[in-house]
Chain A
């Protein structure tokens, strides 16, 4: 097992602790004959804000999908609060990549946010006003309530991302899995998202966020997982987010190293 357990919780690593919002053990995922993830393992402590970084094709999105059982798991075990995902679905909110859907689809922003409640509403039952009110509250919390009746293609990139966030928020989950929520959004949206993530952390919720901008990792996250088909390192940012590990993760592809170490130094100074 390649994993390095987070912090001082190593003692409990042998049997998955019930309190972990997410525990992954020996996870191997393969599409056709090509493995995408190999023996991935890590535990995420409750109430943490965890970033996943790694080069393109490192299996970051696949990892999130495997956690939710929508990628083919060849072997390994995933537990959410000590139980299989199927039983804990209500406690997990998912924000897919913005590019994964067709934004020309004939629905309004409110329709999209309401989709987060479909499980709750139940099969074949119609969406009622109470659900719309709930969805509107979630939209309010990410600052897009006034766009509720806009067709989604009329939203800007940042507003579309906020719509997706609201759809996950409306579920009121305890663990959030987000696939590149900061990709191609304006600075205001990026700021709003990070404020929201911090607020969620204060509320004791856990977030696992795929992130592409290495420079902001030290200021945004308190834990980080460096992934490249395997877990290169995971743990508190100040312990594992260093040049050595980044080199192992990105190899020759990393050109931002200097800037990252600069960002780390800034963080140390501010602490």
Chain B
């Protein structure tokens, strides 16, 4: 039993070492090769990397528009539809005695069936009542199935040397020669320039198809040109990325870029960068370990970029959103705490101004749990807004200024909601540092005058507010104005 495991594990190790044998390990070390790769000493490697870099860049840019046009999966259907073309041209070439491994011939076949696939999808969508995703599903599987069957036929042939054809499925930069790479770079450049040249028109098309049509732009032609760019990327990406995974290069960089920016221009640039980096890194890894298909490597690098973007993207990343939400919750808590402190310590019924407040008073004032209240007090103490002596809490001078400001803002916002109910909902921004940053000065002035009705002591400028002791006046005018008694009752314990 033991020996059997031994044999199995030996076999496993053998497989591992065989598969992960570096390309030129026989006469040089991996590090030497890596050095040569990084320094681009080898002409072929240099050109191959240039080719995949261009491909990644163009795929990233084209992908932005297909993603925004909500046609992300079109690339997938197109690339799968190329397989029957590749195998058919291989078959025909070998039947007629031509060089069946001639790349232009294979890619010509790929282009023909790829375009047939697009036409079939558009025909199904336009002529039947089926939706586009159904059409994509049907075409993708049918064409791919046909291609796989033909591949089986080729392998059955007496002089069948289909070896190399699989590299179109999974991608293999190792099989690329300099000429192929130059061809890839040129075709990618063509797609790239199309997107840059028609950037404005594509933006319009992707944003608002109806308006685009109404302005006289040929929507169908623009769509077909965009699809042609996708076909070009898919075809030239066959060798490097393979037909199953090319869709990742079209979708992932664009989807990742969206997490970093809200502008189409930057999104395009970021997507192009991610595509380029993925292309280079993926094919470099595959060049070092030829048994690792470059397509898979490129896709994995893309996926890593995507995961990073989802997590840390500066516009929509999870981290930034969590932080934003936490910061907002904290600022809400801070506002509530300081305002409650302020209102509880307001002079009333003969008590001295700025009196101390007990913890139990605070507990009953709002629906705070013991834990939230304690953390609020801790944070306020840390910020030197309050001082705490046992169970008594007192606003500091700094805390009082801040609390007065917050209370004023709160009351102004309440007034705004009452007096401008029609427009208020879309304009209220209680997270804003100052109400003046959101509302026009005239509106703030109007609210101020509402707040100060008959209160001659109220200061002229809102920013000077904190220097005056106006708390009681505020409360009175608040009451006089009949500001939602319920709110006031809820917030001020009797």
A positions within 8 Å CB-CB of B: 32, 65, 68-70, 86, 89, 92, 94, 96, 100-102, 105-108, 111-112, 115, 118-119, 121, 123-127, 151, 156-159, 167, 186-188
Ranked nearest first, the 3 interchain pairs of A and B with the lowest CB-CB distance are: A156-B426, A70-B213, A187-B422
Contact: B213 with A107, CB < 8 Å? no
CB contacts (< 8 Å) of B68 on chain A: these are 105-106
Contact A107 to B426, CB < 8 A, known contacts A96-B210, A100-B208, A115-B208: no
Residues from chain A with a CB closer than 8 A to the CB of B176 are: none
Contact between A115 and B201, CB atoms less than 8 A apart: no
For B426, give its contact among A108, A121, A167, A186 (CB under 8 Å).
A186
- Decide if A106 touches B267 in the complex (CB within 8 Å): yes
Nearest chain A residue, comparing its CB with the CB of B126: A32
- Assess the A188–B423 pair: CB atoms within 8 A: yes
CB within 8 Å for A118 and B258 given contacts A68-B214, A186-B422: no
Cβ distance A101 to chain B, nearest Cβ, rounded Å: 5
Which of A70, A101, A124, A167 gathers most chain B CB within 10 Å? A70
Given A106-B262, A158-B426, A187-B422, A86:B216 Cβ within 8 A? yes
Check A126 against B200 for contact (C-beta < 8 Å).
yes
Q: Which residues of A contact B396 (CB under 8 A)?
A: none
- Whether A124 touches B215, Cβ cut-off 8 Å, given contacts A70-B210, A107-B207, is no
> Which residues of chain B have a CB within 8 Å of any CB of chain A?
68, 129, 197-198, 200-201, 203-204, 206-208, 210-211, 213-216, 219, 258, 261-264, 267, 422-423, 425-426
Tell me the minimal C-beta distance from B70 to chain A in angstroms.
8
Q: Is the CB of B216 within 8 A of A151?
A: no
A119–B216 Cα distance when bound, in Å, is 8
Residues of A within 8 A of B426 (CB): 156-159, 186
Q: Is the CB of A127 within 8 A of B200?
A: yes
Residues A107 and B264 in contact, CB atoms below 8 Å apart: yes
A157 to B427, CA, bound (A): 12
Select from chain B the residue with minimum beta-carbon distance to A61. Answer: B210
A65 to B161, CA, bound (A): 57
CB-nearest residue of chain A to B198: A124
- B398 to chain A minimum Cβ distance, whole angstroms, is 33
Q: Do B215 and A119 touch across chains, with their CB atoms under 8 A apart?
A: yes
**A96-B209 Cα distance, complex, nearest whole Å:** 10
Given contacts A106-B262, A187-B422, A188-B423, contact A65 B210 (CB under 8 A): yes
> B204 to chain A: which residues have CB within 8 Å?
115, 118
What is the CB-to-nearest-CB distance from A214 to chain B, in angstroms, rounded to a whole number?
21
Closest chain-A Cβ to B171's Cβ sits at a distance in Å of 30
B447 to chain A, nearest CB (A): 17
How close is A155's CB to chain B, nearest CB, in angstroms? 9
Q: Which residue of B lies closest to A179 (CB)?
A: B210
Report the tally of A-B residue pairs with Cβ distances under 8 A: 84
| CA–CA, A106 and B202, complex, Å | 13
Given contacts A94-B214, A118-B200, contact A107 B263 (CB under 8 A): yes
Q: Using Cβ atoms and an 8 Å threshold, which residues of chain A touch B215?
A: 89, 94, 118-119
Q: How far is the CA of A11 from the CA of B219 in the complex (A)?
A: 40
Q: Assess the B422–A188 pair: CB atoms within 8 A.
A: yes
- 21 A-B pairs with CB atoms under 8 Å apart are A65-B210, A65-B214, A68-B214, A89-B216, A92-B214, A94-B214, A100-B208, A102-B207, A106-B68, A106-B258, A106-B267, A107-B264, A108-B262, A108-B263, A111-B203, A112-B207, A115-B203, A115-B208, A127-B200, A156-B426, A188-B423
Are A115 and B207 in contact (CB-based, < 8 A)? yes
Chain A residues with CB under 8 A of B197:
124
**Residues in B whose Cβ lies below 8 Å from that of A151:** 262
Chain A residue at smallest Cβ distance from B127: A32
The answer to whether A101 touches B214 (Cβ under 8 A) is no
Note all chain A residues with C-beta closer than 8 A to B206: 105
Contacts of B219 in A (CB 8 A): 70
Q: How far is the CA of A96 from the CA of B206 in the complex (A)?
A: 15
Instruction: Please measure, in the bound complex, the distance between the C-alpha atom of A239 and the C-alpha atom of B210, giving whole angstroms.
Output: 34
Residue of A nearest to B70 (CB): A102
Q: Indicate if the CB atoms of A186 and B201 lie closer than 8 Å.
A: no
Bound complex: CA of A127 vs CA of B422, how far in Å?
36
Can you name 20 extra interface pairs (CB under 8 A) apart from A94-B214, A156-B425, A159-B426? A68-B214, A69-B213, A89-B215, A94-B211, A94-B215, A96-B211, A105-B206, A106-B261, A107-B207, A107-B264, A112-B207, A115-B204, A124-B197, A124-B200, A127-B200, A151-B262, A157-B426, A186-B425, A186-B426, A187-B422
Nearest A-chain residue to B262, judged by Cβ: A151
Determine whether the beta carbon of B264 is less than 8 Å from that of A106: yes
Q: Are A186 and B207 within 8 A (Cβ)?
A: no
State the Cβ distance, B112 to closest chain A Cβ, in Å: 30
Q: How far is the CA of A159 from the CA of B423 in the complex (A)?
A: 11
